[in-house]
Amino acid sequence: MKIASWNVNSFKMRAAHVKQFLEIHQVDILGLQELKAESIDTNAFSELGYHINFVGQKAYNGVALITRTPIEILSIKLNGDDHDTQARFIEAAINKTRIINIYLPNGNPLGTEKFDYKLNWMTRLIAHARKLREQRIPFVIMGDFNIIPDEGDCHNPKAWENDALFHISARQKFRELINLGLYDCFRTLHPTDRDAFTFWDYQAGAWPRNHGIRIDHILASPLMIDRLQECFIDRNPRGWDQPSDHTPIIAHFDT
């Protein structure tokens, strides 16, 4: 089973890139983030044999699961706050595995309700993951986590010190999630790789200078990490014409 995650920064603007990506990699499941649309064309990739499930929102957020086979969507919202209307979560069951695709809040600037929302959202995600762990359900959480886990996951750690993506309290929350017994697929297979990024700012020549950050992740429960064959970041789409500022991460699991 091949899984990929990609923040496309507008589905409409990037539909052709997504199609190209599906043709190249033939993944079984592709999680998209930042659709930036209330609704999208669910037949966009039907010629390639893919189905689309999504949760949308006008102008902001939005996540989708694109799959070769029809899947059962279990939830389109993260438990723990009935007043939260932001489209950032979609969960599906495939065989006996749970697939979760998230767009975790950015949280900038620090010291605002936006950062509180991020931390609270992470607390809710941890609670949900804990429940799945207790139930011994194998699962994968992929998506744009908006978290730089460690110093080696950005070009210049100093520059990110006071940013919501690298702030110590957000990174603590991320470790709390990992410490439930989850594994960062990329780091598990590439423990010492540096300059392995998934996002480069559009500005200031960040891409040609490789001034990026690693914020898109695929986390696996123990039963899933045992099946992990490979995990890599495909840098190519970031170099395509009019690209997203993120590039996809791909994980390949046995069976």
Residue type, 138: P
Give the nearer residue to DNA in terms of CB position, either 88 or 128.
88
Question: Minimum Å distance from CB 44 to DNA?
Answer: 14
User: How far apart are alpha carbons 199 and 139 in whole angstroms?
Assistant: 25
Amino acid code (one letter) for 127: A
Neighbours of 5 (CB within 10 A): 28
Report the nearest approach of DNA to the CB of residue 234 (Å): 18
- Comparison of 87 and 177: residue with beta carbon closer to DNA: 87
60 vs 232 by CB, closer to DNA: 60
Note the residues at the interface with DNA (CB under 7 A): 7, 9-10, 12-13, 34, 36-38, 58-60, 105-106, 108, 114, 144, 146, 165, 199, 201-204, 213, 215, 242, 245-246
Q: Please count the other Cβ atoms lying within 10 Å of the Cβ belonging to residue 101.
A: 28
The whole-angstrom separation of Cα 124 and Cα 238 is 31
Whole-number minimum distance, CB 72 to DNA, in Å?
Answer: 28
Shortest distance (Å) from residue 35 CB to DNA: 9
Three-state secondary structure call for residue 110: coil
User: What is residue 34's DSSP assignment?
Assistant: -
